[in-house]
Amino acid sequence: MSVTHDPLRRLSSLMSQPRLWYELDRTARQVDRNKVLEYRDDNGFNVLHVAAFHNNVNAVVTIFRHFDLSTLSTQVTSGTHPGELEGCTAKEIALKRHNERVADRIDSLKKTDSGMNVIHKVVRSQNIDKLKEFCTRDHNLVNITDSDNFTPLHYAAGVGFLDGVKLLLEMGADLNAVTDDGETALGRACRMGYDDVVEYLTDLPNIDIKKSVVSDTGDLTCLDAAAMGNYKDIYNRLQRHGLPVTSNTLVCAAWGGQVELVKEIATMVGIDVNYENKHGNIALYVAAGNGHVDVVKCLINEHNADPNIQNKDGNTALYVASGNGHVDVVKCLINEHNADPNIQNNDGDTALHIAVLNNDNLDVVECLLDEGGADPTILNNKGENLAHMAAKSGQVQCLNAILRRKRTLIDSRGHLYKGTIVYKVWGKDRERPACHYVLVKRKLFADFSVKLNVTILDVEDYGKVLHSGWGKEPPDDIVKKIQETYVTFADSAHEDLAPLHHAVLKQHPAVVEKLLELGAATDVRDAYKLTPLHLACMQGNREIVKLLVEAEADTKAADDDGDTPLDVAKLNHQDLTVAFLEKAEIVKFFRDTIQKPFKEMEDVLVHGLDNDITVNALKTQLKDLIKQLTKGGFSCFAELGLTEEDSSTVGHMPVK
């Protein structure tokens, strides 16, 4: 096994794997801050590009904590990576890879960075001389906060800057100040594993050691945070200071993959292995979600954790392991512990549904289908089965694997879910704030989306107005009624979108091409009798329109209102698509009226001497074809709008 000794290359390597933030953070501490800005891997990626490519939100946060994220976020790729990512920023990579969470996180952290005072940046760079200069010049800077209420002391504790911590406290920093998330400087040092900072802070007489450390795993104590990172010295120190071990401490140890600590805590009196905190985290659930197969086995085999336990959202350990791509955990839960792959959460999603939403998750999908016996036909609360989910998320390989195993899903229609086309529209009516709920016509959605943000909008032009009223927000009873009527799944709903519709709506040409290659029906109808071509024309996606037209989609198909794809393109002001369709109809007309009979005549002329056809029969065939061509020729004149004079001129041209 190869070992990467260069900490910067190791950091980049860790970002390509589903690692936890504290593992990344430990490595980031060893990296020269300035060298990060110059670094490129073999693909021409900087570290933020790598994090974006691999959908690693934790890595983005680590980069923000230790390096210059603002500069890294403006750098573009350059190197040997496939062309579609050449010259892209990290955010652009994330969006092209459908990693929206990473893109959003980059934006939010850049906003945080722009809201930082210069003293925060000095602390983060651990420059003690500059920090002394700033603190001496202006004592008020010691407790100044950023946009998330972080003081310089929070930053110093969070990067292990002990000299900075001491200086700031000497200059009057508030030891127990909390961030917007409720975290103290001590909590931050415990969570990040800086033992020397924790030792110094816990020995201070006015420290509030019992304040929580709030994170995405629940309201933690400082002890819980230390257990999560397996910071054993800090863990033991905090116990000596009187912090108790609880069932939530077990959840944290499991989240961090600390199997020995999990064993130790799980045997303590009063510990419930199936405990769920207020954020819906259970020890087995978080261990599975983070890929800790040894902890999963320990909790089930040694401590009788329930493999099918659901949290408050209805999610199971198998569900979260599948969504995060941990195939070894998925195999363990299915093959060793009989986990049920068909359990649906509160949204009706199964482990299969979440698995297909994750990039590069084919092995998990195949494992659930082949080893777990998962049912791909189950509909979620939006009326979508597995093929619908794969098509709408752009997962070509997953879709192909699903259809190889369940061919009947290729044209399967889900149930109509109006929640995706009910929109709340804010604005002003006669200078007064007004709010409307509109059931938008699906075929008008593209134009609606454009007009919604750039112009005055008459909502009645785009669908059924469900509610209109004065004020910025509708009354609670109206919101509840809309939720119950339109956003709640109904088993009796009409059949609606097929996989091809979903692929077109989400504009995934590769999925459209694969579905057509596999024989999907080009003219399948949704609940409003819209074909995939209607929807492609609505969006003006000429690449997809061309694919469908070349697959002989019906350009004359009419929806419930009698509108053809061309009509829909015009309604949405897709002028280029209108021009393309008009050309396509002319080409199709000529092919049908001229090219087809001409090819038949060519076939007769080529093979007329090779078979037993009689002379009279040959003459009859040729005469009929000439009639077709003549009739077709005049039809083409009419189609092109040529005059009688044009046709007579051509008709009397001399034969050479």
Q: How confident is the model at residue 647 (pLDDT cuts 50, 70, 90)?
A: low
Say what the pLDDT of residue 539 is.
Answer: 94
Task: Assess if residue 121 is contained within a domain.
Answer: no
Across 321-327, average pLDDT: 93
Say what the pLDDT of residue 624 is.
Answer: 75
Confidence check: pLDDT of 214 > 90: no
Highest mean pLDDT: which of 64-68, 169-173, 472-476, 614-618?
Answer: 169-173
Task: Say which residue, 352 or 20, is predicted with more confidence.
Answer: 352
Say what the pLDDT of residue 489 is.
Answer: 64
Amino acid type, 418: K
Across 81-101, average pLDDT: 85
Lowest-pLDDT choice from 284-293, 357-366, 548-557: 357-366
Across 113-123, average pLDDT: 88
Across 125-130, average pLDDT: 93
Alpha-carbon distance of 51 to 350, in angstroms, equals 28
Total domains in the fold of the chain? 3
Phi, psi of 465 (to 5 degrees): -80, 115
Confidence check: pLDDT of 603 > 90: no
Alpha-carbon distance of 516 to 391, in angstroms, equals 12
Say what the pLDDT of residue 485 is.
Answer: 78
- Cα–Cα distances in Å, from 189 out to 192, 200, 317, 460? 5, 11, 30, 56
Q: At which of 72, 91, 114 does a domain end?
A: 114
Distance, C-alpha 114 to centroid of its chain:
26
Q: How confident is the model at residue 329 (pLDDT cuts 50, 70, 90)?
A: very high
Task: Assess if residue 67 is contained within a domain.
Answer: yes
Helix (H, G, I), strand (E, B) or coil at 375: coil
Question: DSSP code of 142?
Answer: G
**Residue pLDDT, tens place only, 246-282:** 999 999 999 989 899 999 999 999 999 999 988 889 9
Highest mean pLDDT: which of 207-221, 295-309, 472-486?
Answer: 295-309
Report the percent of the chain where pLDDT is more than 70: 88
Task: Assess if residue 93 is contained within a domain.
Answer: yes
Q: How confident is the model at residue 490 (pLDDT cuts 50, 70, 90)?
A: low
Tokens of 110: 């850049």
Across 533-552, average pLDDT: 95
Based on DSSP, count helices (H) and strands (E) in the chain, helices before strands.
Answer: 37, 5
Confidence check: pLDDT of 589 > 80: no
Helix (H, G, I), strand (E, B) or coil at 468: strand
Domain holding 596, by residue range, is 585-651
Confidence check: pLDDT of 319 > 70: yes
Across 23-42, average pLDDT: 87
Helix (H, G, I), strand (E, B) or coil at 345: coil
Task: Assess if residue 411 is contained within a domain.
Answer: no
Task: Assess if residue 60 is contained within a domain.
Answer: yes
Radius of gyration of the chain (CA): 32
Say what the pLDDT of residue 635 is.
Answer: 62
Helices (H), 67-114: 69-74, 90-96, 100-114
Confidence check: pLDDT of 546 > 50: yes
Confidence check: pLDDT of 213 > 80: no
Report the percent of the chain where pLDDT is more than 90: 57
Alpha-carbon distance of 155 to 164, in angstroms, equals 9
Task: Assess if residue 620 is contained within a domain.
Answer: yes
**Residue pLDDT, tens place only, 407-451:** 999 999 999 888 788 878 877 777 788 788 888 899 988 888 877
Confidence check: pLDDT of 653 > 50: no
Across 181-195, average pLDDT: 91
Q: How confident is the model at residue 81 (pLDDT cuts 50, 70, 90)?
A: low
CA dihedral (491, 495, 499, 502) in degrees, to 10, reads -90
Say what the pLDDT of residue 656 is.
Answer: 36
Say what the pLDDT of residue 525 is.
Answer: 97
Q: How confident is the model at residue 216 (pLDDT cuts 50, 70, 90)?
A: low
Say what the pLDDT of residue 291 is.
Answer: 92
Q: How confident is the model at residue 355 (pLDDT cuts 50, 70, 90)?
A: very high
Say what the pLDDT of residue 595 is.
Answer: 66
Across 489-501, average pLDDT: 84
Task: Assess if residue 163 is contained within a domain.
Answer: no
Average model confidence (pLDDT) across the chain: 87
Task: Assess if residue 616 is contained within a domain.
Answer: yes
Q: At which of 92, 114, 136 does a domain end?
A: 114
Confidence check: pLDDT of 614 > 80: no
Say what the pLDDT of residue 4 is.
Answer: 41
pTM for this predicted structure: 0.79
Say what the pLDDT of residue 438 is.
Answer: 85
Across 626-645, average pLDDT: 64
Say what the pLDDT of residue 20 is.
Answer: 63
Tokens of 52: 């974006």
Distance, C-alpha 159 to centroid of its chain:
31
Confidence check: pLDDT of 488 > 70: no
Say what the pLDDT of residue 150 is.
Answer: 92
Task: Say which residue, 528 or 453, is predicted with more confidence.
Answer: 528
Alpha-carbon distance of 379 to 496, in angstroms, equals 12
Across 593-605, average pLDDT: 69
Say what the pLDDT of residue 226 is.
Answer: 93
Q: At which of 455, 471, 487 does a domain end?
A: 487
Confidence check: pLDDT of 198 > 80: yes
Alpha-carbon distance of 635 to 629, in angstroms, equals 10
- Cα–Cα distances in Å, from 222 out to 205, 211, 252? 17, 8, 11
Looking up residue 24, the CATH number of its domain turns out to be 1.25.40
Say what the pLDDT of residue 168 is.
Answer: 96
Say what the pLDDT of residue 82 is.
Answer: 58
Say what the pLDDT of residue 643 is.
Answer: 57
